[in-house]
Structure formats: structure tokens, C-alpha cells
Structure 1
Amino acid sequence: MGHLIRRDLGATRERLRDQVAHALRAALISGELRPRQVYSAPVLAENFGISATPVREAMLDLAREGLVEPVRNKGFRVTEVDERDLDQCAEIRSLIEVPTVGRVTRTAARADLEALRPVAEEIVRAAREHDLIGYLEADRRFHLSLLALAGNDRLVEVVGDLRKRSRLYGLTALDERDQLLPSAEEHLELLDLMLAGDAKGAEECMAKHLRHVRSLWAEAER
């Protein structure tokens, strides 16, 4: 197993399941856990340095999200996301995030937008340092925190679910070719437009960013 899931998890019993699920999602996004491959809870648990029970529970959580599927007496198989799935996720995200960014630009307090700058800078720094876990974490926080400024919890929940389902395969290969940095820098561009009060420009920037993300998915698939 690779570096994403070869880690020790120190947590209380009630948090361990969530931490394992989070680590497995990161491994799915990076492509460390591959489509159509079957993984057993005991083997994954050995990599985490914990018992198989919280790993099995975490995998069941991922199964409910459609990320894996149980394979009787063997473990869990990573589900495959095809081009049609990616197109549909990208379309829904565009329908939600583009107008929401425009609305947030017009209504959000400047201090709330400024609070996102350290996260945007963290995305860029992680891309430059080839820190995939940091990149994924900061990118998720930026997008969901930005959408949260619209005041609609369900909207944030929907986009969060779409992000899980439209995970990036082969993120490591893209990182090695320095293809993540341009996408990372778009977060700062977007934030600057919003702080300038340019709602139309912010919408166009978000649309461009989502198209860029979709092209990364396609590149990762190839």
C-alpha cells in the first residue's frame, strides 16, 4: 500500500471510524485505491495499525456513498466512475457553484471572504510542495466554506457529496507533471475577484475552474 493509507491513527473509539473513512476517501481520490480492485478490511487495518472492525465500518460508510461495493467473503471493490458520471457531476456542480459564487460576492461580508485567503494560499502551497493530502483537504475546505457563506446547508451537503463521487483518479501522476498548480492558483484569482465585488467575473472564474477540474478528471482517466 502507498503512503496515503500507511499511517497510524490515534483517536477515541467514536472518532476512529470517521478518521478511517476520511483516510480511505483520500486514497480513493488520489488513485491509490484503484477501481475494480478488491480490498479486505484486515489488510487495510494492518496498514492503519488498528483492528479490522472500524475499517469494516468505515468501508460500509463508503459503500452507502457509492464509492465502494461489498464483495461477499472478500472485502470491498472500488466502484468505477465513467465519463458520463463525471460529466453529470461537473454539470450539477456548475449549476450550483457558479451562481452561488455570484450571490456570495454580492452579499458576503468582506471579513468572511478574507478569512478564506489562508486556505486558498494553503492549496497553492500544497500543490507546489506536492503534498496531496494537504491539497485535497485545503481544496475541500475552501469550496465548502465558500458555499457555506450562502447560508444553505443542504447546498453545501450536495456539493460535498458530488466531490466525493467525482474523485480524481491518478492524482499522483497529475501532480508529478505539475498539472495541479494552475488549478490551485485559480482559487486565489477567484477570491480576488470576489473581494473586488466583481460578481460576473467571479462567476466566470468559477466556471473556468470547474472546466479545468473536469479536464483534470479526463487526464487522470487517460
Structure 2
Amino acid sequence: MSEPLNLPDLGVRENIRQKVANALRAALIAGEMRPGVIYSAPALAEKFNVSATPVREAMLDLVKEGLVIAMRNKGFRVTELSERDLDEIIEIRELIEVPAIAKIAATVPGDRILRLKAWAEAIVAAAEEGDLVRYVEADEAFHLNLLALAGNAHLVGTVRELRHRSRLYGISRLAKGGKLADSAREHLDLLDVVASGDAEAAASLMRRHLRHVRGIWADSPES
């Protein structure tokens, strides 16, 4: 039996398949959709107020990404990640993102970096409202747009894929405890440090931020 989900009503819009895939991906990352639970396309379609076809197609896209498994005549089951999987994902992200952020701090004008402040503020706003799916969407947009300033599209694509394979089950705990907004404000701090041009400080803060993310993945506080 499916759990109730906090999913947006997409209405009738262009490219519904992609919009559904993005919304489901965000719900997966936010931990709204849990491993072991089977979700049917018709039930999800009802939540989205769209037909089952684009939902089924979107779920098949997520199957290709390894996020869900198709269960014959039943629906789709969320894949599980081990602690080792999570450790390896964060290790790769550190190897990629920390030097990239240092490069951006050292080479990109601060005013250009600060143009991303609206995304950082959107993360805080979503956290304060307890909207976990919107939080994940804003968080991804912030980080990918920041990394894009390094000028390497393949780097951005790799980080996007790694993010999509991860889960943030712990953010629901932080939201309920009133601590998610504090965590969200790290993004404003990160932006200010990167914009200051201090590459070493930016790299250090990015590394610490990723380790905080790993703590959220583990659904336990990170020191």
C-alpha cells in the first residue's frame, strides 16, 4: 500500500513527462518516496492530476537512472542505497566539487557569483515553509548553477547524476525539528565566501557542506 506523498499538482503543461520525472526525482531525493514501497503509475498520476501515460514514461526514465525498479504488473519500487554507496558518492563529489569551487572563487568575479543569491534564498524559504520537494529542487539549481561557473558542462552533468542517485531522508527529521532552515543558510554563507575570492576558505566550506549533506543522508547529525 502506498504512503501519502507531498507531490505538486502539475496541471496541464508542456512536456509533462519531463516535469513529472523532475518532480518524482525531487521527491525521491527528499525521501518522500521510500525504499521498499511500490508506487503505481495510476496512483501517482492521480496525485499529479495528469494521465497515467506520462507518469509511467517518467518512471521508466528513473529506471534507466537506477532510482527505481520496475515491478511487473505492480508498479515501481524505489532502489535502496547502502552506507557504502553513500560514502562513495560523497567521496566522488568531494573530489569534483571542492576544487571546482576553489577555482570559481579564484577566477570568477564576485558580482557574477552573487547573482545566484536568489537560489540560495529560495532554499531557505522552502526550508522555513517545510516544503521538502521545493527545497531539493532549489538546492540542486543553486549548486549546479554555481558549478556551471567553472565552465565545464561535463562536470555539472556528473554532479547532477550523483545528486540524483542520492537520498536526503534526514531532511524530514531536520524540518520537523525546526533545524532545516539553519542548514539551508549554509548556502548563503557558501555563496558569500566564494564571492569573496578566498579559494582556500571556499574549498574548506564546500568540503564541510558536503560532509553535512552526508550526515543528512545518514539521517543522523553530522559533527
TM-score range, shorter chain: over 0.9
SS of aligned partner of 1:182:
helix
TM-score scaled by structure 1? 0.92
Question: Structure 1 stretches (4+) deviating beyond 3 angstroms?
Answer: none
- Return 5+ residue gaps in structure 2 as ranges: none
**CA-atom RMSD, angstroms?**
1.7
| Partner Cα separation in structure 1 for residue 211 and residue 130 of structure 2 | 22
1:152 corresponds in structure 2 to 152
In structure 2, C-alpha distance between the alignment counterparts of 1:80 and 1:105, rounded to whole Å: 36
Q: In the alignment, residue 96 of structure 1 is paired with which amino acid?
A: I
State how many pairs are aligned. Answer: 219
3-state secondary structure, aligned to 2:185: helix
Partner of 2:103: 103
Query: Alignment identity in percent?
Result: 54
Whether the 8 Å CA contact 2:169–2:219 is kept in 1: the answer is no
Q: For structure 1, which segment, 166-175 or 198-207, has the greater mean C-alpha deviation from structure 2 after superposition?
A: 166-175
8 Å contact kept, 2:35–2:79: yes
Q: TM-score with structure 2 length normalisation?
A: 0.92
Q: Deviations over 1:159-186 (max 9, x none)?
A: 0011111121253232111232232111
- Partner amino acid, structure 2, of 1:213: V
- What SS does structure 2 have at the residue aligned with 1:151? coil
SS class of match (2:218): helix
User: Per-residue displacement from partner, 1:54-73 (whole Å, max 9, x unpaired)?
Assistant: 11100000001100011111
Aligned CA distance change for structure 1 residues 39 and 220 (closer, same or farther; 3 Å): farther
Query: Could you tell me which of 9, 12, 20 is aligned with 2:11?
Result: 9
CA distance in structure 2 between the partners assigned to 1:26 and 1:52 by the alignment: 19
Aligned residue runs from structure 1 range 152-171, under 5 A: 152-171=152-171
- Aligned amino acid, residue 95 of structure 1: L
SS at match of 1:219: coil
Which amino acid in 1 is paired with 2:87? D
Cα deviation, 1:43-85, whole Å, max 9, x if unaligned, reads: 2112222211111100000001100011111111110111011
1:112 partnered with 2:85: no
> SS in structure 2 opposite 1:116?
helix
1:17 and 1:54 in contact (8 A); partners too? yes
Change (3 A) 1:151 1:41: same
Q: Distance in 2 between the 1:24 and 1:44 partners?
A: 9
Structure 2 counterpart of 1:78, one-letter code: V
- For residues 105 and 42 of structure 1, the distance between their equivalents in structure 2, rounded to whole angstroms, comes to 47
Q: 1:124 — aligned with what?
A: 124
Q: Alpha-carbon deviations, 1:116-168, whole Å to 9, x = none?
A: 11211221222222222332122111100011001100100000011111121
- Per-residue deviation, 1:101: 0.4
Q: Tell me if the contact between 1:174 and 1:220 (Cα under 8 Å) persists in the aligned partners.
A: no
Whole-Å Cα distance in 1 between the matches of residues 219 and 33 of structure 2?
Answer: 18
* 5+ residue gaps, structure 1: none
Other structure's SS at 1:168 match: coil
Task: Identify which range, 127-136 or 150-159, moves more after superposition.
Answer: 127-136
